[in-house]
Copies of this chain bind each other. A is one copy, B any other.
Amino acid sequence: MSPIVVWTYDWVPEAPRGFVRDLRLRWACEEAGFDYTVRTVPLNPKSADHLARQPFGQVPFLTDGELQVFESGACLLHLARKSEALMPRDAAGEAETLQWTIAALNSIEMVAVPWWFLDMTGTENSQVTGWLQSRLDHIERVLGERKWLVADRFTVADLLMADVLRVPKVRAFGDRPATESYVARITERAAFKKAHADQMAHFAAADAARA
């Protein structure tokens, strides 16, 4: 059996399918050509075993032989250290991959997720909207000047940034052509398509097993 196991939920409703974050880990494994398997924990109720492996009761988490890692960003950086396909090996390339991976999480997703959440629950907050606009404007400026975030090549930082930006409501948030082109280009990659199709098939099979 492969030492790499990506853990996700046994089933989720239709809305989050294609966006459950095991997709990030599947995608990274596909990019790197890692052999991996996918295993599941129940969505509800959360098991004690699940909470022992992911203390916030979320997915994904990763097993890599004896190692266990949770947080999709941490799993991606862990995988990136195993394959040059995901991150350059020189000190500058590693530092820049690290900074842009965390920027995707903490400068974009940290604003986009609450904005999306407020939007979904019908709560108006012009400051959060302005905060998101400002962050998206900054990333549009960066993406207008370069094709990739790091070292003129695809890295795990692009994987994560594109995954954060491809959320439909965030992506539709104003006319930002460089961002749109970046997301479209990166989600055209074979590894993304495979990971996305595999996640959709996984949950479809779970529907079939429930029927």
Contact = CB atoms under 8 A, between A and B. Distances in A.
A141 B77 contact: no
A202 B77 CA distance: 34
A44 interface: no
Contacts of A74: 95, 98-99, 101-103
Contact of A99 (B71, B92, B110, B118): B71
B98 A114 contact: no
Contact of A55 (B55, B71, B141): B141
Interface stretch (A27-35, A122-130, A166-174): A122-130
B66 A92 contact: yes
A95 B105 CA distance: 18
A170 to B, nearest CB: 15
A124 to B, nearest CB: 8
Oligomer copy total: 2
Contacts of A138: 55-57
A131 B123 CA distance: 15
B56 A69 contact: no
Contacts of A2: none
Interface string A153-189: 0000000000000000000000000000000000000
20 contacts: A55-B138, A55-B139, A55-B142, A64-B95, A68-B95, A69-B95, A69-B99, A71-B99, A73-B106, A74-B101, A74-B103, A78-B98, A105-B110, A109-B110, A110-B113, A110-B114, A117-B127, A118-B128, A121-B125, A123-B123
Interface of A: 55-58, 64, 66-71, 73-75, 77-78, 91-92, 95-96, 98-99, 101-103, 105-107, 109-111, 113-114, 117-118, 121, 123-125, 127-128, 131, 135, 138-139, 141-142
Given A56-B135, A70-B99, A73-B102, 14 more contacts: A55-B138, A55-B139, A55-B142, A58-B107, A66-B92, A67-B92, A69-B98, A74-B95, A74-B99, A77-B98, A102-B105, A105-B106, A114-B114, A117-B127
